[in-house]
């Protein structure tokens, strides 16, 4: 079974404007939609669309959590959240016709109680086992500090499940120290780990990727946004992926779909270099549509043939 853990779930309110959003102007809305948010839930949606069994877990605020569960059900995703008397945060996504990406505005999320934290550890203890996959994506909420995050990852490791992490700053460092199966930092998150402030050539990233492999992270996918990604594997092979040209509608959730595509193929026994290829196509398809989730399988097949892959080592 694949378990996706969204520790800081959200309900995305996606607002589309008639023209480019401008300050000091009356910006007219043309459409409002709601979608699931918080990252690992998006991974669940991709898996579900591909017919791969999975369960969405994490923390949810009971005051409005039903909305999120219903949105997930519309995609067919089964959930098993730890509920707490609180309000699930709302994220606002602003889209306009500038073709320059979305604005994402996020709340911190409710403070997870000690009791909820313990219930999550119990959930992992009771459910996860060898051959399972656990995906942790998104920023952990207040109440889950780096120490607790490390304990959660340790518990999953004890159960021998394969761990994928898409997180940032100290939480990303905790995942690196825990030696997980795969991390997927974006360029900013990656540069922050090593305090890289100057502009460097892409191939210079190799030495930093090697440092992370030396530390025990099994595989790293460094995402370069619309410029593609670099995969560094445990066996020290390195691949560079160049995505297809697309007409971007909404880049929010594209990184999560990328992870979803990768996880799906790994769960089917594909090699990581093939999995990243598929993830790249899924993510391009996601970015070509307005919602925060989902993709089109036919479009993904077309995109697959347009991705360029180079082996760097
Ligand atoms: O990646 C998109 C997204 O999952 C949105 O749906 C939004 O809710 C946000 O990210 C949450 O990100 P965060 O890092 O705050 O957990």
Walk along the chain (313 residues) and give the pLDDT tens digit of each residue.
Answer: 999 999 999 999 999 999 999 999 999 999 999 999 999 999 999 999 999 999 999 999 999 999 999 999 999 999 999 999 999 999 999 999 887 888 999 999 999 999 999 999 999 999 999 999 999 999 999 999 999 999 999 999 999 999 999 999 999 999 999 999 999 999 999 999 999 999 999 999 999 999 999 999 999 999 999 899 999 999 999 999 999 999 888 888 899 999 999 999 999 999 999 999 999 999 999 999 888 788 999 999 999 999 999 999 9
HEC assignment per residue over 237-291: CEEEEECCCCCCCCCCCHHHHHHHHHHHHHHCCCCHHHHHHHHHHHHHHHHCCCC
The Cα–Cα gap between 224 and 89 comes to 28
- For the Cβ of 37 lying below 6 angstroms from any atom of ligand 1, the answer is yes
Cα of 293 vs centre of ligand 1, distance in Å, is 11
The Cα–Cα gap between 34 and 269 comes to 34
The residues, ordered by sequence, that sit 6+ positions from 13 with a Cβ below 8 Å of its Cβ are: 32, 33, 34, 90, 91, 92, 93
Write the DSSP assignment of 70-132 as a string of letters: HHHHHTT-EE--EEESS--EEEEEEE-TTSS--EEE----PPPPHHHHHHHHHHHHHH--TT-
Mutate to test the pocket of ligand 1, among 292, 293, 294, 295 (most ligand atoms within 8 A of CB): 292
- What's the start-to-end Cα distance of the chain, in Å? 33
The Cα–Cα gap between 28 and 184 comes to 36
The residues, ordered by sequence, that sit 6+ positions from 247 with a Cβ below 8 Å of its Cβ are: 99, 288
Q: Tell me the backbone φ, ψ of residue 113, rounded to 5 degrees.
A: -80, 165
CB atoms within 10 A of CB 141: 24
- For the Cβ of 252 lying below 6 angstroms from any atom of ligand 1, the answer is yes
Summary count for the chain: helices (H), strands (E): 10, 15
Hey, whose CA ends up nearest to atom 1 of ligand 1?
Answer: 253
Tell which residue, 20, 33, 46, 206, has the closest CA to residue 99.
20
Question: Do 182 and 221 form a contact (C-beta atoms < 8 A)?
Answer: yes
- For the Cβ of 189 lying below 6 angstroms from any atom of ligand 1, the answer is no
Shortest-distance atom of ligand 1 to CA 256: 1
Sign of the torsion formed by the C-alpha atoms of 9, 10, 11 and 12: negative
- For the Cβ of 61 lying below 6 angstroms from any atom of ligand 1, the answer is no
**47-71 confidence digits (pLDDT tens):** 999 999 999 999 999 999 999 999 9
- For the Cβ of 138 lying below 6 angstroms from any atom of ligand 1, the answer is yes
List, in sequence order, every residue forming a beta bridge with 90; answer none if it has no partner: 11
Q: Is the pTM of this model over 0.85?
A: yes
Q: Say whether 30 sits in a helix, a strand or coil.
A: strand
Give the C-alpha distances (Å, rounded to integers) separating 233 from 45, 107, 190, 208, 238.
26, 35, 16, 13, 6
């Amino acid at each position: 079974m694949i378990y996706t853990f969204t520790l800081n779930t959200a309900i995305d309110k996606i607002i589309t404007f008639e023209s480019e959003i401008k300050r000091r102007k009356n910006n007219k809305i043309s459409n409002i939609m709601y979608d699931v948010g918080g990252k690992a839930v998006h991974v669940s949606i991709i898996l579900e669309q591909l017919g791969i069994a999975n369960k969405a877990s994490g923390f949810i605020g009971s005051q409005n959590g039903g909305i999120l569960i219903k949105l997930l059900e519309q995609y067919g995703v089964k959930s098993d959240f730890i509920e707490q008397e609180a309000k699930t945060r709302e994220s606002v996504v602003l889209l306009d016709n500038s073709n320059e990406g979305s604005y994402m505005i996020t709340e911190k999320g409710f403070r997870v109680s000690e009791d909820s934290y313990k219930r999550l550890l119990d959930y992992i203890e009771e459910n996860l086992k060898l051959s399972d996959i656990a995906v942790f994506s998104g920023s952990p909420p207040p109440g889950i500090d780096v120490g607790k995050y490390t304990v959660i990852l340790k518990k999953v490791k004890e159960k021998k499940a394969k761990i994928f992490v898409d997180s940032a700053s100290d939480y990303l460092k905790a995942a690196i120290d825990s030696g997980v199966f795969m991390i997927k930092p974006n360029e900013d998150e990656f540069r922050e780990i090593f305090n890289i402030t100057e502009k460097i050539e892409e191939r210079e990233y190799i030495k930093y990727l090697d440092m992370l492999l030396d530390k025990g992270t099994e595989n790293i996918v460094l995402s370069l946004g619309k410029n593609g990604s670099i995969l560094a594997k445990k066996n020290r092979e390195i691949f560079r992926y160049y995505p297809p040209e697309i007409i971007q509608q909404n880049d929010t959730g594209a990184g999560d779909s990328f992870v979803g595509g990768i996880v799906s193929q790994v769960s089917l026994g594909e090699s990581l270099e093939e999995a990243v290829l598929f993830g790249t196509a899924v993510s391009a398809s996601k970015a070509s549509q307005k919602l925060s989730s989902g993709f089109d399988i036919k479009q993904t097949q077309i995109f697959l043939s347009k991705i360029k892959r180079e082996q760097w080592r």
